[in-house]
Amino acid sequence: MTKDEVPMSQDGSNFKSLQERVGNELREFFILAGYLYVCFTALAFLKASILRAENIDFARWAFAAIKAAVCAKFMLIGRAFHIGEGYKAYPLIVPTLYKSLAFVAVVFVLTAIEEVVVGLIHGRAVADSLAGLGGGTLAQAIATVIILLLIFVPYFAFRSLGDIIGDRILVRLYFERRR
């Protein structure tokens, strides 16, 4: 086989479509992780500012990047399982809110599972691992869910619009100069 030939699978199709899918998934991951990173960094900055006013140091900036990557991974896993794929015939607000709520649940459940697994690896009890979920108190967990919902709604609004008019047109509308 020459270097210009594309490897063939057993059914005769080439791997180019696989490469394109992987490339698209990576692009989607980096876009989503970047969006979440900006949101989570803004929240970390707000928290640091509030705590600094009370003379409490807070410098968990790397946490925003790690949490953004983990949430983006969880969201792509949820999308691969077609979570929130209903209500496409309804006005855009309906699938947007449905997907946002569904993915808040997905991220919350997968984060809980991740915390339990990490806790078990470090010898902690399940209850101890889940105690810090969402901030540690019920009020903080509710606030975290609301903030995640507020972050997810614009993302899924753009995704829903992109599903209707096409991602390329959506990108052109936002990033190309109008004539």
Spell out the domain ranges in the chain.
15-67, 82-179
Task: Specify the pLDDT at position 134.
Answer: 67
pLDDT tens digits, 147-179 = 999 999 999 999 889 888 998 898 899 899 888
Structure tokens at 34: 């970047």
Task: Specify the pLDDT at position 4.
Answer: 44
How far is 96 from 46, CA to CA, in rounded Å?
27
pTM: 0.77
- pLDDT under 70: residue ranges of the chain: 1-15, 59-60, 134-136
Structure tokens at 21: 């899918």
Phi/psi for 49 (5° steps) reads: -65, -45
Local structure of residue 8 (DSSP, 8 states)? B
Task: Specify the pLDDT at position 130.
Answer: 77
Are the C-beta atoms of 99 and 92 separated by less than 8 Å? no
Which 3 state secondary structure label does DSSP give 175? helix
How far is 177 from 179, CA to CA, in rounded Å?
7
Task: Specify the pLDDT at position 21.
Answer: 85
